[in-house]
A = this chain, B = another copy of it.
């Protein structure tokens, strides 16, 4: 929104008051008897309510602005950045809209799809920018409908830069942001939260500062819920602007836009686009160090921190909006120094929640996708309602096919060459595969000196929780029990436990031990004999790629393997082992051998044939030890199996 322009005249007659109390018909559904225990009020509130609640509670917050990337690879990186910066706890992020870049399309780099990914796959409250000038009403309505369908709930309504030099107002067209605000309210009622832009120094094209304030008031009275400002360089600029807004009756939240200077050229570019003037005292510091990026960034961080402090200390500012320019370091540094970066991200549930409104009640998932939550979200995106309270009998839910293993939000962050270094340029047998699994578990470099930081089933290094099982996992992987998912048993740890905790404080969390692995049919034969001894204690499910299927799950019922008991609430059981979903998962788990690993090698090459052999002949096994208060018996099961084999 740095290059946003604004209308200079036009009257607004809308009398809609700011941030009304109605929360729309969507949320009233939550009063039915089946609603989820409100684990995290955030999931049930609209953005404007969250802002109000944070303000009432005296909590300071921040938000982050990003622009859509140019390439698919950049999109993959941006999504990792969403995940990392999302961990710091932004109230929302926003994605800008560039009319020239086909922003409403289905391309993986479009504003629409990036915002969709942020909401659905990264679980971030997201504002999608939208400009209106030079667009037809139908185009705009189409974009808004698509945004709604994708689960987007917030729009930043902007005019955008007119095309061509000689721009003229169109009669009945979308000439100004206020027209877009009115259109959204008239076509979509109260569905969207609407944000508009404010100009602390007045819009460069406005007749005057005062005229610009009046136009801002029109936008608010037409239905905008809050204001984010253009960047500025001095805190007093914003504070004066805010008082002036309040003086003419603008009562909605006004969020200052903060631009940490990150480099000489980006600053110049920005200033040119926004027609802002950089104060002399800043120029005086920057000019002498203009070729020293690190020095400029340090200065930019200092400047931003001191300005933010002054704003927050004024008592008038509750949230700060950061123009990140898609970069991580400077903004994160500022936030950490301000103390508003959430250092200890408390998890509302053991897995990352999605922010799509239709998923707001979702609180149960099968454990299988623990390391591939984006794939789970993708494969369940067509569901109309989501398991809530319990998984239930899941003979009905159909998982979407996952044919495209290169969906950009599922794509590995590592390029092919790196994967080959990790997983082996050349495999010599099943044992070299065992070695890769073992190195991933131990964190030790492989025989060529490379650390294995990801696997086809997990694009990230081992989770902290899995580390609890490291020694045992190492031992079994060496011997061909190729683990891809596991959790230890937990018999009532506090919900605030830094490793296994989740949910509100004052609760207790529990887990049944879980182990999932690929292994050879020889080992499976022995395992099945051993499991007879554990029949009443261990639930198992064993399946190969052809679908041969052995389980002792009673009536194919799901088994809750993670649950939490909290003060004043019903029980939450967010993770289950569901025998029916396991069959959908096994297709994906087996396919990853081929799609992610085998295909790294030439066709017919020995390496490829080794992976293909494993894919064709190994079994995927999951084991649950139901006796969570006792010592985990699954290691003993594996030990007994090896003993039987010897």
Contacts and interface: CB of A to CB of B under 8 A. Distances in A.
Interface in A5-40: 30-35, 37-38
Nearest to A555: B38
Contact of A390 (B508, B553, B570): B570
A559 B554 contact: no
A34 B539 contact: no
Given A390-B389, A392-B389, A491-B492, A567 B537 contact: yes
A31 B565 CA distance: 28
Nearest to A395: B31
Nearest to A364: B570
Contacts of A37: 390, 557
B571 A560 contact: yes
Interface string A268-293: 00000000000000000000000000
Contacts of A392: 32-35, 389, 570
B629 A393 contact: no
Contacts of A389: 389-390, 392
A387 B35 CA distance: 11
A133 to B, nearest CB: 44
Interface string A537-578: 101000000000000111101111001011111110100100
A560 B570 contact: yes
Contacts of A569: 554, 557-560
Contacts of A31: 393, 395-396
A444 to B, nearest CB: 37
Contacts of A38: 554-555, 557
A45 to B, nearest CB: 12
A61 interface: no
Contact of A563 (B35, B559, B565): B565
A551 to B, nearest CB: 10
A71 interface: no
A569 B31 CA distance: 27
Contact of A573 (B506, B537, B570): B570
Contacts of A626: 506, 566-568
A582 interface: no
Say how many copies of this protein the assembly contains.
Answer: 2
A497 B571 CA distance: 22
Contacts of A30: 393
A237 B519 CA distance: 62
Interface string A27-63: 0001111110110000000000000000000000000
A235 to B, nearest CB: 38
Interface string A481-516: 000000000011000000000000010101000000
Nearest to A491: B492
Prevailing SS type, chain A contact patch: loop
A558 B573 contact: no
Contacts of A555: 38
Interface string A365-392: 0000000000000000000000101111
Contacts of A492: 491-492, 629
A56 to B, nearest CB: 16
A536 interface: yes
B565 A570 contact: no
A241 interface: no
Nearest to A505: B536
A489 to B, nearest CB: 11
**Which of A30, A396, A559 is the most central at the interface, judged by chain B CB atoms within 10 Å of its CB?**
A559
Nearest to A552: B568
Nearest to A510: B565
A173 interface: no
Interface string A388-423: 011111111100000000000000000000000000
Contacts of A554: 38, 567-569
A97 interface: no
A557 B570 contact: yes
**Which of A33, A392, A557, A566 is the most central at the interface, judged by chain B CB atoms within 10 Å of its CB?**
A33
Contacts of A558: 569-570
A192 interface: no
Contact of A33 (B396, B557, B559, B565): B396
Contacts of A238: none
B560 A539 contact: no
A199 interface: no
Contact of A391 (B33, B506, B537, B576): B33
A628 interface: yes
Nearest to A506: B536
Contacts of A568: 539, 552-554, 557, 559, 624, 626
A492 B508 CA distance: 13
A567 B554 CA distance: 9
**Which of A390, A397, A560, A563 is the most central at the interface, judged by chain B CB atoms within 10 Å of its CB?**
A390
Contacts of A35: 392-393
Nearest to A44: B555
A13 to B, nearest CB: 38
A555 B628 CA distance: 32
A34 B364 CA distance: 12
A32 B397 CA distance: 9
A555 B563 CA distance: 21
Contacts of A506: 536-537, 626
Given A33-B392, A560-B570, 15 more contacts: A32-B396, A34-B34, A35-B393, A389-B390, A390-B570, A390-B571, A552-B568, A554-B568, A554-B569, A557-B569, A558-B569, A558-B570, A559-B569, A567-B626, A568-B626
Interface of A: 30-35, 37-38, 387, 389-397, 491-492, 506, 508, 510, 536-537, 539, 552-555, 557-560, 563, 565-571, 573, 576, 624, 626, 628-629
11 contacts: A32-B392, A389-B389, A391-B570, A392-B570, A492-B492, A539-B568, A554-B568, A560-B570, A565-B628, A568-B624, A570-B576
Please give me the 4 A-B residue pairs with the lowest Cβ-Cβ distance, nearest first.
A567-B626, A33-B392, A389-B390, A35-B393
